[in-house]
Amino acid sequence: MNTILFEDFSSFPLGAFPYDKDHSAMGEYHYYPEEGYKGGWFDPIADFNYRGPSWLVTSPCLDGRHFMEQMRIKPPKDRSAVPCLRKGDVRMGDYKLTVVMRAYRRDEISGIAFRYQTSMMHYGFFLKGNGVEFHRVNKMERTVLASKACEWSTDSFHSLGVLCKGGSFTCFLDGEEVFEVKDEMYSEGCIALSSSMPAAYSNVLVEMTNDEKKAFDERLSRDEKRVMGKRAGFPQMKLSKVIDLKDFGAGREIRFGHLTGTKELFFVIAQHQRRVYKDRYPFISCLTAVSLESGEVLWQKGEPIDDEDVVLLTTDLPFQIYDIDNDGVDEVIVSYDFKIAILDGRTGEVRKEIPTPLNTADPKSVTGLEFGRYAFDRLNVDAIRIVNVTGKDRPSDILVKDRYSRLWVYDSNLEFVWTFSKYNTGHFPYNYDFDGDGKDELFSCYNMVDHDGSLVWSLPIDTDHTDEIVFGRYDNDSEPCLAIVSGWEGFMLVSKEGQILLRDINGHGQRISIGNYCPDREGLQICTTTYWQNNGIIYMHDSKGREIWHREALCNGNVIAPVNWDGSGQDLVLLNADPFNGGLMDGTGDVVVPFPNDGHPSLCCEVLDSLDGERDGIVVWDRKRLFVYTQDRKPKVGDAIYSPEKYPSYNASNYRGEYSFPKWTKPRGV
C-alpha cells in the first residue's frame, strides 16, 4: 500500500485552526483568507451564528499528542451545515481511509467523510447512538444507506475506516468489518473530518494500492497536460499599470466612468465610517476621483483615513457614476450626510441636493431594522441605482433604498416619484422594461413592481432574500426569464409573469453570472456560488438551469464575473486575484489564465469592459495599490469584433448578477 496522506496534527501549534474571527461577509466578494497555518486542510463552512473557532488543536491527554477537535453543536438539518475539515485531491478515486477519533457525545453524528466533492456532496461513516451509520449527502438530502448496532464509548478513542473500491464501500470499526455498502453516486473525491457534535481526531491515514496510485497519478498528469494545452491557446496576463492609492484606498467600493467627458477613464473610490451597529449604517466619509490612465487625483471630497477599517465593509456604499443630465459628461450621484446629491464629475462640486426621506413608516413594518427602532430621523441610504420608470429616452431616474425594506425613486431633478415596501428589497433591485411599455419595472427581492410603484406580483416566498438577479434569454427556444440566487431559498429561474420555472436549493446562493462559458453547448450557461454555511461551492448550469458540474473552491472571494478575454466569443469566469486559488476559469472549470505571482494585491478584483476597445481588462486592488492587467498578445484579426452586452457600469454594486450576452460588431478598420 502507498501512503497518500498521513496526519497526526503534530505540526500544528495548539490553538484555533485559522478562521474568520469576525464571522463576516467579507468573503462574499473579497479574497479574504484566514491567517495562520493550515497544513493543507480547509474548513469550507462559514457560520455567522457562532463566535470562536470551529476546529481547535488540543492536547487533552497531557502526553504530548495533538488532536484536531471539532467544537460546534450542529445537528444535520435543512439549511444548517455539518462542520467539515477537508484535505486531499477531489480526483482521488479508490483508496482506504482510516482515522483514530473520539466522539464526546452519542446523540448526533461524529465521523469521517469520503469521496468528498463538496460539503454538500459526499459519503460519510459515523458513530451515532449505539452503533454506526453510513450516509450519502446530496445537497439538501441526507440519506442513511446502512446502520448497525455495535459497541463504542465516548470515553475511548476508536478507529474508523472505509475501503472505497468503485461503487463498493467496506466500513470498519476498530479494525473489524461492520458492513459493506454499494452506491454509484460519487466515484471520486477527497476526505474530510465531519461531525455535528464535539469530537477529537488524530492519525488520519489515506492509502492506495499500486494500481490505484498509478491510476490516480495518470489522471493528474492528463489533467495537467490538458490545462497547459488550454493555457497556450489563451492570451496570458500582462501588467499594464500600477497606481498608488496613498491614503484614500478602500475595498470593493469603486466606480468607473468618464468624468471629464473625454475618452479618459476615471475611477471614484469611496471610504466609509460606521455608525451604531456593525455594517448596518455605514456612511461615505471620503470620495476620491482618480485617472485610471495617469493615476493623478482629479478631485477629492472629505478627509481620507489611513486605516485598515476602510476595507472591512460588507455592504454597498451609495454612489454611482452616470451622465444623468445627458450633457456628455458623467456626474457622480451620491448620498452622504443624509442628503442625495448630484456632483459635477469634473470638480466634485454639488450641482443639486435634497435631504434623504424621513423615516416615517412604523418600525415594526421595516425588515431588518436593528434594535427595532430607527437610529436617525432621516434615511441612511444603503444603495443607489439608475432606472427609467418615467419612460424617458434614456435612464435618468434615481432609486435609493435602505438595507432591506424600502425603496424610493426620484427623477433627474431629484423630484420624488414614488416609494415601495413589501417584506424585503433584497440587496440590489433589478430594472427592466418587462412589459414593453417603454417604462421600467423593478424586480426587488421576490416582488415585481410596476413603473408607478404598484405591486404586479410576488413569488410565494417570505424567508431569506434575493442576493443577485439577471434577466435575459439563455437559449433560442425559451422565453427570457429572471435568473436569481436567493440565499437558502435557492437558485431559481422565474418567468417575467412570476412563475418559478426551476428551483435548486444547492446551498446559500450568493452570486450569479451568465455567459457563453461553454461554446460547444446550446445557448448560454449560468454560474452560481454559495457563501453562508456551505461556503464556496461553484456550480455551472446549462441554458435550462440544469447542473453541469460542481466544485468547492478552497478559498472565498470568487466574484464569478464573465470576461471577454480573447475576443473569440467564449467568455471566461473571473474567480479572484490570488495567483494560486484565483484566475480566469473556462466553462469546464479549468483555470486557463492564472494571475502572475508578482506581488499584486488580491483583496479585490473587477472586470473592466472593453478596456482596449475590444477585450476586457482586469483591475485588482487593496487599500494601498491598484493594478491593471491586460493581455500579453494582440487579438486575432477576424471578420467581426466580439462586443458582448454587459451590465452597465453606471449600476455598479457588490450585489449585482453579472452577464455577457453575445453580440458581434463590424470588422476592424471598417
Domain annotation covers residue 319: no
What does the pLDDT read at residue 51?
82
Q: Determine the residue type at 510.
A: Q
Percent of the chain topping pLDDT 70: 99
Percent of the chain topping pLDDT 90: 92
Nearest in space to 323 (alpha carbons), one of 405, 241, 377, 260: 260
Q: Which residues contact 599 (CB under 8 A, 6 or more apart)?
A: none
Total structural domains within the chain: 2
| Residue 554 pLDDT exceeds 90 | yes
Q: Which residues contact 214 (CB under 8 A, 6 or more apart)?
A: none
What does the pLDDT read at residue 640?
86
- Taking only the tens place, the pLDDT of each residue in 426-484 is 999 999 999 999 999 999 999 999 999 999 999 999 999 999 999 999 998 899 999 99
Q: At which of 203, 226, 249 does a domain end?
A: 226
- Taking only the tens place, the pLDDT of each residue in 658-668 is 999 999 987 66
The SS3 call for residue 380 is: coil
Domain annotation covers residue 36: yes
| Residue 387 pLDDT exceeds 70 | yes
State how far the Cα of 582 lies from the Cα of 585, in Å rounded to an integer.
Answer: 8
What does the pLDDT read at residue 575?
98
| Residue 340 pLDDT exceeds 70 | yes
Categorize the per-residue pLDDT at 593 as very low, low, confident or very high, splitting at 50, 70 and 90.
very high
Q: At which of 167, 194, 226 does a domain end?
A: 226
State how far the Cα of 385 lies from the Cα of 397, in Å rounded to an integer.
Answer: 8
Categorize the per-residue pLDDT at 670 as very low, low, confident or very high, splitting at 50, 70 and 90.
low
What does the pLDDT read at residue 668?
60
Domain annotation covers residue 512: yes
Contact 119, 45 (CB under 8 A): yes
Q: Which three cell numbers stand for residue 637?
A: 484579426
Domain annotation covers residue 238: no
Taking residues 170-188, report their average pLDDT.
98
Domain CATH code at residue 86: 2.60.120.560
Mean pLDDT of the residues in the chain: 96
- Taking only the tens place, the pLDDT of each residue in 639-651 is 788 999 999 999 9
State how far the Cα of 126 lies from the Cα of 135, in Å rounded to an integer.
Answer: 8
What does the pLDDT read at residue 612?
75
Q: pTM for the whole thing?
A: 0.96
Domain annotation covers residue 408: no
Contact 92, 190 (CB under 8 A): yes
Domain annotation covers residue 305: no
| Residue 669 pLDDT exceeds 70 | no
Q: At which of 226, 256, 273 does a domain end?
A: 226
| Residue 618 pLDDT exceeds 90 | yes
Domain annotation covers residue 415: no
State how far the Cα of 493 lies from the Cα of 448, in Å rounded to an integer.
Answer: 14
Q: Determine the residue type at 71.
A: M
Q: Which residues contact 634 (CB under 8 A, 6 or more apart)?
A: none
Q: Which domain holds residue 145?
A: 2-226
| Residue 613 pLDDT exceeds 90 | no
Domain annotation covers residue 314: no
- Taking only the tens place, the pLDDT of each residue in 195-253 is 999 999 999 999 999 999 999 999 999 999 999 999 999 999 999 999 999 999 999 99
Higher local confidence (pLDDT), 327 or 62? 327
Categorize the per-residue pLDDT at 567 as very low, low, confident or very high, splitting at 50, 70 and 90.
very high
Taking residues 10-19, report their average pLDDT.
96
